[in-house]
């Protein structure tokens, strides 16, 4: 099990869960921009959280679905995965 979700994986999840195409480099560069600026709405983010929970078989922090930016989100879920490992 990978203990860290990368920007590449997040880009893949945004595509799978919400149909949003974003290059990982752009996501990295704009990681402090709001998810809404990529076209991701709250249900889309909820879908990504659900996907991660199913993938890792562990609940994500309740605040994960409230994160506003990619950096916030990755920091939160990665620290949760690290703590749970």
Partner 1 sequence: MSASHARRAAVTGIGVVAPNGTSTDAFWKATREGVSVIDPITREGCEGMPLRVAGQVRDFDPPSAIEERYLVQTDRFTHFAMAAADRALEEAGLGRADTDAAPFSVGVVTAAGSGGGEFGQRELQQLWGKGSRFVGPYQSIAWFYAASTGQISIRGGFKGPCGVIAADEAGGLDALAHAARGVRRGTDVIVAGATEAPLAPYSMVCQLGYEELSTVAEPDRAYRPFTSAACGFVPAEGGAMVVVEAEESARDRGAPVRALVAGHAATFTGASRWEESRQGLARAIQGALEEAGCAPEEIDVVFADALGVPEADRAEVLALADALGPHAGRVPVTAPKTGVGRGLAAAAVLDVAAAVLAMEQGVLPPTPNVFDVCHDLDLVTGRARATETRTALVLSRGLMGSNSALVLRRGAADAS
Structure token pair of residue 45? 């983010």
Q: In the complex with partner 1, which residue's Cβ is closer, 5 or 56? A: 56
Residues numbered 55-74 forming contacts with partner 1, rule: CB under 8 A: none
For residues 76 and 63, is the Cβ–Cβ distance under 8 A? Answer: yes
Letters for 5-44 (x = contact with partner 1 by CB under 8 A, - = none) are: ------------xxxxx-----------------x---xx
Q: In the complex with partner 1, which residue's Cβ is closer, 18 or 64? A: 18
For residues 38 and 11, is the Cβ–Cβ distance under 8 A? Answer: no
Contact region for partner 1 (CB under 8 A) — 1-9, 49-57, 68-76, 77-85? 49-57
Residue 16 region by backbone torsions, left for phi larger than 0, else alpha for psi between -120 and 50, else beta: alpha
């Amino acid at each position: 099990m990978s203990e860290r979700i990368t920007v590449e994986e997040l880009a893949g999840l945004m595509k799978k869960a919400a149909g949003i195409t974003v290059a990982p480099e752009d996501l990295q560069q704009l990681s402090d921009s709001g998810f809404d600026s990529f076209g991701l709405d709250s249900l889309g983010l909820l879908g990504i959280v659900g996907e991660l929970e199913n993938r890792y078989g562990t609940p994500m922090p309740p605040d994960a679905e409230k994160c506003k930016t990619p950096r916030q989100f990755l920091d939160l879920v990665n620290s949760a995965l690290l703590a749970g490992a």
